Amino acid sequence: MARAEPRRRRDGRSTRALALAASLALTACGDGPGGRAVIAADPGPLPPPVYPETWRPQFHFTPERNWMNDPNGLVYYQGEYHLFYQFEPDRPILLFMHWGHAVSRDLAHWEHLPIALRPTLADGLVFSGSAVVDRANTSGLCEGADPADPSCLVAIFTHFGPPGLTQKQSVAVSQDRGRTWELYPGNPVLPNPGTPDFRDPKVFWHAPTARWIMVLAVGDHVEFYGSANLLDWTDLSAFGPAGVTDGLWECPDLFELPVAGAPGETRWILQVDYNPGFLAGFSGGQYFVGDFDGATFTPEHTDIRRVDGGADFYAAQSWSDAPGGRRIWIAWMSDWRYALAVPTTPWRGAMTIPREVGLARRDGHTVLVQQPAAELKALRHRRIASERNRRVEDRSSLLDGIQGDTLEIVAAIRPEGATRVGLRVRVGEGEATTIGYDVSAGRLYVDRRNAGTSAFNPAFAARHEALMPLRDGLLDLRVFVDWSSVEVFADGGAVVLTDLIFPSPESRGLELFSEGGAATVVSVEVHEVASIWRGSEASASGRRPTGPRP
């Protein structure tokens, strides 16, 4: 089989633009009540960053250099979480797409590995897709020497190229834990049927029917295919249009989850991304709760349900074969309206933190909940503030003197007489990002209109919100603040907002606020978060990049 390496896929561009890119590529080949805790064993300040560039995320995954978008091929295998991703290795814009590659043993610290899949003249560019562990060697492609474990990794992804610059599904195999890949000589395994948008395969093993299932984005709907061997695919059914129906569906995911508090009860979640113009005008994701019988998906609701109420959560994909049956996903943290213009260098593109997803009941409905992966608690460097049972009014002095640009904040607030309550993070001279709750509107919001740099796109300076009735009159928040992002989890993870921000490095203040009346801070804790990059582990070469490549 021909040696392959990853090529990156596009999202949010027209087929015509993709065709142009492809043609170019192929021719160019101790709390005390009411008081602040005193920390007895202070580990001291955070060490200097390995990646010191302005706005470089410290605990979110980024490529060393150049462009990154969709997460791809998420799979757990032999002790490692694999993160492949759409990657342009030579430019800070999407064009000649590869699959980049990184691995982690703890979902927090990542090791960059060489490019996994590259475009070829014969097959075209490498767009998004998935990867699976072929444990029983159903494909016949595994060449393992251990009879007790004949498994290998198989990637199923979209090639975009000849003939006629079409999208079709291909396969590659790795015999060495994902370090090198070979293209299947019989590609494509699913040729294009004559439609311009035919991409982003998500593949998983469906035990009740003893076959592989592929979910594929096809214009304004998804299609389901089945296979016994990952190579020969049969059309099963389609779902959609539904929910948001104008524009393209992309990057689907489908999985089964237990319903919290209902022993033995499960539902299937179908997640699809929508681009362009999702609801409030930006790209985003929607999900459907329902049933999947191995051939057909049947939803149990018709209302539109957003995966994330912020602007910067796209192309979420979950890890296959995660230990303990956990369902963990990660997403590209950007928005197609301005993704090509964000003012970062020498890289462009970041992932969200990994999130564990589940199902819960809210007001008689089964809803998706997301929580930061438990492994991220290990990144807490030190607790720098802790308050309980304190009354606040206006701009409270409760957190005066507390500063930081990599923070985890856990708070519970009763609005009581207030009309708005919340936090301001990355506060500085004329700058702040507001995470608030509007009591009368019943909405949680992130306001980044004064967060910092925003002139690169007129759509960036905005407020994003989500409907969220308070439960028992209590606002619960878990907030992650990095050098260029905020991620807000509320109502037990049923409401999440993710937004990029680009504040001045000097803007490091933190405030609690209550408007229109007093509120009670039931509890608030603030933790410094350590960098995920540790010395030479920050790069495959051990170097510390500090500026653009010449």
Say which DSSP state 175 is in: S
CB atoms within 10 A of CB 455: 10
Strand (E) or helix (H) holding 128? strand 125-134
DSSP calls for 301-350: --S--BS-SSS--EEEEE-BT-GGG--EEEEE---TTTTTT---SSEE--
CA distance 223 to 310: 28
Instruction: Tell me whether residue 451 is exposed, middle or buried, using C-beta atoms within 10 angstroms of its C-beta: 0 to 12, 13 to 18, 19 or more.
Output: buried
The Cβ of residue 456 has, within 10 Å, a number of other Cβ atoms equal to: 12
Band of residue 145 on the pLDDT scale cut at 50, 70, 90: low
- C-alpha torsion angle, residues 488, 493, 494, 495 (rounded to 10): 0
Question: Per-residue pLDDT for 548 more than 80?
Answer: no
Instruction: Give CA 241 to chain center in angstroms.
Output: 24
Cβ burial 104-140 (10 Å sphere, 16+ → b, else e): beebbbbbbbebbbbbbeebbbbbbbbbbbbeebbbe
| pLDDT tens figures, 447-465 | 999 999 999 999 999 999 9
What percentage of the chain carries pLDDT values higher than 90? Answer: 82
CA–CA gap between residue 156 and residue 138 (Å, rounded): 14
Asked whether 444 and 466 are in contact (CB, 8 A), the reply is yes
Amino acid at 400: D
pLDDT of 70 over the 80 cut: yes
**Residue 541: exposure state from Cβ atoms within 10 A (0-12, 13-18, ≥19):** exposed
> For all residues of the chain together, what is the average pLDDT?
90
Q: Confidence band (pLDDT; 50, 70, 90) for 47? A: confident
- pLDDT attached to residue 281: 59
DSSP label of 118: B
Q: Distance (Å, rounded) from C-alpha 183 to C-alpha 234?
A: 21
Checking if the pLDDT of 5 tops 50, the result is: no
**Tens of pLDDT along 175-189?**
999 999 999 999 999
Instruction: Identify the CATH number of the domain defined by range 3-28+63-337+348-372.
Output: 2.115.10.20
Name the percent of the chain lying above pLDDT 70.
Answer: 88
CB 26 within 8 A of CB 161: yes
Q: Which of 542 and 250 is assigned the larger pLDDT? A: 250
Dump pLDDT digits (tens) for 490-534: 999 999 999 999 999 999 999 999 999 999 999 999 999 999 986
Q: Quote the CA–CA distance of 2 and 420 in Å, as a whole number.
A: 60
Averaged pLDDT, 272-293: 83
C-beta separation of 389 from 40 below 8 A: no
Residue 502's SS3 state is coil
For the cut 80, the answer to whether the pLDDT of residue 546 exceeds it is: no
Assess whether pLDDT exceeds 60 at residue 321. Answer: yes
Q: In what helix (H) or strand (E) does residue 528 lie, and over which residues does it extend?
A: strand 509-529
pLDDT for position 32:
37
| 539 has a pLDDT exceeding 50 | no
Q: What is the CA radius of gyration of the chain?
A: 23
Residues 207, 284: Cα–Cα separation, whole Å: 31
User: Cβ of 80: how many Cβ atoms within 10 Å?
Assistant: 16
pLDDT of amino acid 1: 54
Res 33: pLDDT: 35
Instruction: Average the pLDDT over 390-401 and give the result.
Output: 87
- Count CB atoms within 10 A of the CB of residue 472: 6
Tally of CB atoms within 10 A around 540:
14
pLDDT value at residue 132: 99
Has residue 43 got a pLDDT over 60? Answer: yes
Q: Where are the domains of the chain?
A: 3-28+63-337+348-372, 380-529
Give catalytic residue positions.
70
Look up tokens 């008081």; give the residue: 35
3-state secondary structure of 433: strand
CB atoms within 10 A of CB 402: 18
Q: Are strands 347-348 and 66-77 parallel, antiparallel or unpaired?
A: parallel
Domains 3-28+63-337+348-372 and 380-529 in one fold: no
Map residue 402 onto helix, strand or coil. Answer: coil
Range 380-529: architecture per CATH:
Sandwich (2.60)
Please give the C-alpha separations between residue 287 and each of 222, 282, 299, 466, 495, in angstroms, as whole numbers: 13, 16, 10, 15, 13
For residues 326 and 357, give the distance between their C-alpha atoms in angstroms, rounded to a whole number.
8
pLDDT for residue 397 is more than 90:
no
Check residue 421 and give its pLDDT. 97
Question: According to the model, what pLDDT value does residue 159 have?
Answer: 99
The answer to whether 276 touches 284, Cβ cutoff 8 Å, is: no
As a whole number, mean pLDDT of residues 205-221 equals 98
Which pLDDT value is given to residue 30? 38
Q: What is d(CA 269, CA 171) in angstroms, rounded to the nearest whole number?
A: 25
Provide the H-helix boundaries in 53-104: none
Q: Can you give the three-state secondary structure of 231-291, one letter per residue?
A: CCCEEEEEECCCCCCCCEEEEEEEEEEEECCCCCCEEEEEEEEEEEEECCCEEEEEEEEEE
Instruction: Tokens 């569906």: give the residue.
Output: 249
Give the tokens for residue 206.
């469906």
Does residue 100 have a pLDDT over 50? yes
Dist CA 206 CA 549 (whole Å): 45
Looking at residue 531, what is its pLDDT? Answer: 95
Q: What are phi and psi of 20, to 5 degrees?
A: -60, -45
Residue with tokens 């920390």: 39
What spatial distance separates the first Cα and last Cα of the chain, rounded to whole Å? Answer: 36
Of the pLDDT bands very low, low, confident and very high (cuts 50, 70, 90), residue 148 is confident
Q: What is the C-alpha to C-alpha distance for residues 528 and 466, in angstroms, rounded to an integer?
A: 27
Do residues 305 and 370 lie in contact, with contact meaning Cβ atoms separated by under 8 Å? no
Neighbours of 417 (CB within 10 A): 13
